[in-house]
Structure 1
């Protein structure tokens, strides 16, 4: 009996509170309809004020607690929680619960308004949940990016995929709440529109699949230098996300390409060169064919003054003279027997020059080779690797080598091929 009386008392107090303003207005001879509306607006205003005040206090307290904890902790994760506003989003939960608790009291006399307001709060609860999930995901993403073993992985792609599914699920939940449709019934109804959904999210799906393949196969990492001729991209990868890959070209422009292009088109990744011990030099000098000739003994003796090939010429000349003598070769005609040529000696000079060059990696391939003759002359190609892989220094080393070789050509009675200028035609 006592318990029933207490329950009746609580109900009575609740009713009195619910019609607090209404009773006062009725006492002032205000009509019942106006009194009901003013009572509702008054209670709504009071509820909003309470919600805003609680929200403000909760945010301040949580932010202070998070900052204090972050300053005392040695890990960066809690600092990232603060930076991504996790505490601010969580602080909205308590005011939201208060609003949902007292909404029936505010709109007790207006069931239609009560239903609309409650649906609005439920939709806001879904949005708030998504905000909290997004903040936590961004925190995890930022934390993983600072880990040395993961900083070059496409973390953005995975977080974006998760958030896309979360937003889609949230959107469908909100529609189901607004239309008073059970969630699973709503999902079933969307099955008929799956083709349209796939069409709308085609790029997202392709990007998601591409991101997984790129990550699993380790095709591209953030920081890699890639060349993508189809899109005019030549530079460093600065971002990989679900739909696009951003490349900062060497002229500081940014090229954006679809993520799925990494698996559907051909591109060059220079990571192998970057991780190796040298950067390849592969360039040819085109020698005039008319300058190629056999060397007489006097010409060979003259070339012995070039220190890099002195030992080579002495050894080779002895071998050649021994062969020609033992085979009674008539050397009045240079064509007979074995002979040295100026282009062959120059090729040996190039090889010796590269092997003693301080900027060439001696542990990697070093070769001076002759390619098939062309209409522009005979290509003498250098194939070697510079020790310094930095672009500026690499270009300087390569230029220095070819400056020297071009200047050395006249000592071997050779010339570089070049098209005649208009002045020569006029003469």
Structure 2
């Protein structure tokens, strides 16, 4: 009994500390139960497609860990007054735990905001991924400063003052995040790229849709389903092609030429004009053009015995006007954008007749189908104007001379 009586104060301190721990655990379990019920009520209240997101990101459960840490921090010095060294260690651990818990709660809030922001329409024009990543870096950086200041029992201001001497080192260590953040600001403020944009960067082998714009990298899913990671800074320093304008205007360009054999180009005869006049798309053109040329030749008193005299219509000219009229009447060609049929410089492969127009459907598969249908028709109809499409001779062509 005298031995026990000699340790009454020590025993009382241990009992007091154990009581503080028990109270902290009890408070945690109680608040956790309340938080779970409150979370369930909120989930029932929020009935939309984001229900699972709110379930996973709800921060009420994390708040329940803050209360027991606070209880241990505030009541341990009184309970362990006889053991100041032990009390200091425990309060430091509790305070560090509180700092970490608050940091984790703020991190969850950042993640929740990021996921909610992605559901907004504005996120397609102004992605905040790089800003969110920077906020997360700053958050954990400040958390580290706070933890070190608690352990060393120094003011955070002194630590920041000491970090001033390490600015050059920090600039070197965080060079990529700093440059990426600056690039991200330029990309967002100038609306240069956004998630979902189709970009092309031959230097990096990029040709596909942007998945994510991060602090230091941009992820692009190429059309072959591979994923390429490009430095964010590269989108500022290097040139790239963004196909967003095509999607916004609702037109996708067709720019392709058909090479006509020069030996098949000739003046139109009277019989040709009668035959071409039966073609629906250019019947009015043939009539008006024929009248215009006849009036000109009469006014100029042109000797029509030679084909070189005066003005005459050619089968290639009628063919060009037919293609343009055909495109004007095509239901899949955008009528408010450029429609042009022109001749390019003759080459060893013949006379290129280029079609320059825009489809009113930007979907890649449907665009290719529309373009193919148009050129199927052009290649087949060329013979109606006594024109032949040029191609290099093959073995079968040489065999025909035998």
Distance 1:76 1:50, change over 3 A: farther
Distance 1:93 1:369, change over 3 A: same
Distance 1:392 1:46, change over 3 A: same
**For residue 200 of structure 2, what is the aligned residue in structure 1?**
227
- Give 1:347 shift: 0.5
Please state whether the residue corresponding to 2:182 is helix, strand or coil: helix
**For residue 393 of structure 1, what is the aligned residue in structure 2?**
366
**For residue 180 of structure 2, what is the aligned residue in structure 1?**
207
- Give 1:344 shift: 0.9
Per-residue CA distance 1:247-285 (angstroms, 9 max, x = gap): 233333322222222222212222222121422222111
Structure 1 residues 36-185: aligned runs within 5 Å: 48=21, 50-72=23-45, 82-104=55-77, 107-185=80-158
**For residue 388 of structure 2, what is the aligned residue in structure 1?**
415
**For residue 285 of structure 1, what is the aligned residue in structure 2?**
258
- Is 248-257 or 355-364 further displaced after alignment? 248-257
Per-residue CA distance 1:5-28 (angstroms, 9 max, x = gap): xxxxxxxxxxxxxxxxxxx89439
- Is 259-268 or 163-172 further displaced after alignment? 259-268
- Is 157-166 or 395-404 further displaced after alignment? 157-166
Larger radius of gyration: 1
**For residue 27 of structure 1, what is the aligned residue in structure 2?**
4
Structure 1 residues 272-421: aligned runs within 5 Å: 272-421=245-394
Q: Point out where structure 2 has 5 or more consecutive residues left out of the alignment.
A: none
**For residue 12 of structure 1, what is the aligned residue in structure 2?**
none
Distance 1:194 1:295, change over 3 A: same
Please state whether the residue corresponding to 1:149 is helix, strand or coil: helix
Question: 1:154 touches 1:211 (CA, 8 Å); kept in 2?
Answer: no
Which of 232, 238, 246 does residue 259 from structure 1 map onto? 232
Q: Partners in 1 of 2:3 and 2:144 — Cα distance?
A: 44
Q: Partners in 1 of 2:50 and 2:63 — Cα distance?
A: 17
Question: 2:125 touches 2:191 (CA, 8 Å); kept in 1?
Answer: no
Please state whether the residue corresponding to 2:165 is helix, strand or coil: helix
**How many aligned residue pairs are there?**
399
Please state whether the residue corresponding to 1:380 is helix, strand or coil: strand
- Give 1:402 shift: 0.3
Per-residue CA distance 1:344-368 (angstroms, 9 max, x = gap): 1110111111111122222322221
- Give 1:232 shift: 2.3
Please state whether the residue corresponding to 2:92 is helix, strand or coil: helix
Per-residue CA distance 1:152-192 (angstroms, 9 max, x = gap): 42122222222211211111222222233332221111111
Q: Point out where structure 1 has 5 or more consecutive residues left out of the alignment.
A: 1-23
Please state whether the residue corresponding to 2:142 is helix, strand or coil: helix
Q: Partners in 2 of 1:409 and 1:331 — Cα distance?
A: 28
Question: 2:327 touches 2:339 (CA, 8 Å); kept in 1?
Answer: yes
TM-score normalised by the chain length of structure 1: 0.83
